[in-house]
Amino acid sequence: MKQFIVIAVLFLALFTGCNKSGSGTTTVEYQVATTNSSSIDISYTNAAGTKTQLNTTTSWVFDIVNPTRPFAASIQASSHSPFSSITTTCTVTVLVNGSVVKTNTSSSNTIAVAEADYNLQ
């Protein structure tokens, strides 16, 4: 039993060490943040490279791990104001491995549309 625990701990240390030293993983992250929004229409490029659309009422985050390169990351979001007297703000962000590579913010009393594109080579 003691040998099993020692082997398990060594395996875990080796696995954790490999991940920390850089496994070559690339993560593209999309973020949509809004204020004063009644609904958000989102269109983004998925891992297969095709456009995907969805509707939500809250801020949204989506990760694509190890996309085929080159990868054309693209996101557009439309934040709808609940009333014409209230300004809605929409911010879209594209991150690669946690670093912001593109961001855009838009504000409007009706529909705020923001989009960002980034080519990952």
Global pTM reads 0.80
81 in any annotated domain: yes
8 in any annotated domain: no
Reported as a single tens digit per residue, the pLDDT across 4-45 is 343 443 343 334 444 444 569 999 999 999 999 999 999 999
Reported as a single tens digit per residue, the pLDDT across 68-93 is 999 999 999 999 999 999 999 999 99
The number of folded domains in the chain is 1
Catalogue the E-assigned strands of 1-121.
27-35, 39-45, 51-56, 60-65, 71-80, 88-96, 99-108, 111-120
72: CATH = 2.60.40.2880
Under the banding of pLDDT at 50, 70 and 90, the label for residue 106 is: very high
Q: What mean pLDDT comes out for the span 53-78? A: 97
